Amino acid sequence: MKQSQLFAKTSRKLSESEASKNAQFLLRGGFIDKSSAGVYTLLPLGLRVLEKINKIIREEINAIGAEELLMPSLIQKKYWEKSGRWGVDVIYKTSTGTENKDKKDFEYGLGWTHEEVISAIAVKFINSYKDLPKAAYQIQTKFRAEARPQAGLLRGREFSMKDLYSFHESKEDLDNYYEKVINAYKNIFKRLGLKTLICETGGGDFTKEYTHEFQVLNPAGEDTIFYCEKCGFGQNQEVYKPEAHKNCKNPIQSGRAIEVGNIFKLGIKFSEAFGISFLNKNGEKKPVIMGSYGIGPTRVLGTIVEEFSDEYGIIWPETVAPFQVHLVELSGKDSDGKVTKAAMALYEKLVKNDIEVLYDDRDASTGEKLNDADLMGIPNRVVISEKTLAAKKIELKIRGSKKTDLISEAELIKILQK
């Protein structure tokens, strides 16, 4: 991709309405655009990162036998009433713009979670123990009427969510699947470069048992967690009890954290509300036991920026970077065009080798180009200039490192194809 042709541009201007680091860097880097408080467009660069996050999530969730589907956002009042969630604070309700239509027919609650919809589907396909277990997920847009949306992509009114739902014949089978999801989540966050702590928290209305959150220690987080690096203990402040850690001598630590995932044993609450039952091996009718498991891909995107940046901009992990290489042409007083020619040739060679490259072919100053490269945070920055041409080398700099290396074209391709 040539940078001169990108739909969006970088900006030096700080946004006055955004306090968070992730929003500032993502806005300035041309990854997102702000539509209104808590509502963003993912510009082409941001969508590239999001799709890489989604790909990792899909691979790991498919690997535990879940099938992807896509549920709607318009959810009828009758479904929310069955679960008792029509009246929650965070639900957006719809009506039409036209006065003379039957308003009732246009009244939906926008999906901020999908237990109701998946339950209404599952009841049609689950009849027997032979139909169990089942698991289905989607990566879909959610809507939450947050009173004070803040922290950029960490808490929005419209955001993406991977929500997985599982159905079991017994508590034991749910427990087994729950462990599988924990492992899948560990794989996902490891591949995303995020170090997570698993913390117990409350189950709200659904269960008296603890549920679990995957937390990333970070000062931008809204939660406070208590954790022990030695024994793996972790609790959200909401449920924290010092005596729960009394068998370990290591001192407890606490810190702010961002919740990037949560997992939940729903039990039979929705099965009973929606009548999801099955005949067991003895021909007895039993309610299905359910679990639900979330990861917010857009929040993960924001978290990665909070975790990986310096004063100059973002430092993307290789696995989610929008491009592998930022090829920067510094023509300087290049009157005969040989720098441009060499940069273009390298660009074509990299593309041919299936390396994702953003080629800064813009007519801009050296300072502007290098500052933008730091802001955008692509892991490998390659400079072609009169100086590198004279040395018959290419300058490679790893984003976040201070060191530059002069290497050959063949060495560069070898490094990038590793």
Residues that bind a second copy (CB under 8 A): 5-9, 33, 35-37, 39-44, 46-47, 50, 65, 67-76, 86-98, 101, 105-106, 108-110, 117, 120-121, 124-125, 134-136, 141, 143, 145, 147, 157-158
Q: Closer to a second copy by CB, 72 or 232: give it.
A: 72
CB of 57 to a second copy, least distance (A): 15
Least CB distance to a second copy at residue 299 (A): 15
CB of 162 to a second copy, least distance (A): 14
| The length of the chain, given as a count of residues | 418
Q: How far apart are the first and last CA of the chain?
A: 21
For 62, phi then psi, to 5°, come to -60, -35
- State the minimum distance, in angstroms, from the CB of residue 53 to a second copy: 13
Of 148 and 402, nearer to a second copy (C-beta) is 148
Residue closer to a second copy, measured from CB, 167 or 227? 167
User: Which residue carries 């659904």 as its tokens?
Assistant: 206
CA distance 2 to 360: 6
Nearest distance from C-beta of residue 137 to a second copy, angstroms: 10
- By beta-carbon proximity to a second copy, the closer residue of 166 and 388 is 166
Cα(69)–Cα(114) distance, integer angstroms: 12
Task: For a second copy, give the closer residue by CB, 101 or 195.
Answer: 101
Comparison of 197 and 320: residue with beta carbon closer to a second copy: 320
Strands 380-385 and 325-330: parallel
Rounded alpha-carbon distances, angstroms, from residue 261 to 125, 167, 174, 270, 304: 28, 19, 18, 21, 14
Report, in Å, the least distance between residue 67 CB and a second copy: 4
Q: What does the block give as tokens for 240?
A: 């924290």
Report CA-CA distances (Å) from 187 to 61, 181, 198, 319, 389.
10, 10, 13, 13, 43
Rounded to 5 degrees, what are φ and ψ at 18?
-125, 125
User: Six-digit token pair at 285?
Assistant: 């009718």
Whether the CB-CB separation of 201 and 236 falls below 8 Å is answered with yes
Neighbouring-strand partners of residue 155: 150
CB of 55 to a second copy, least distance (A): 13
Whether the CB-CB separation of 88 and 113 falls below 8 Å is answered with no
Cβ closer to a second copy: 9 or 230? 9
Strand partners, 150: 155
Cβ closest to a second copy, residue 37 vs residue 248:
37
User: 122: part of which helix (H) or strand (E)?
Assistant: helix 115-125
Distance set, CA 310 to CA 32, 33, 46, 316 (Å): 19, 21, 19, 11
Would you say 122 or 396 has its CB closer to a second copy? 122
Q: Smallest gap, in angstroms, from Cβ of residue 396 to a second copy?
A: 27
| Shortest Cβ 283–a second copy spacing (Å) | 18
CA neighbor of 321 nearest in space, from 399, 382, 261, 260: 399
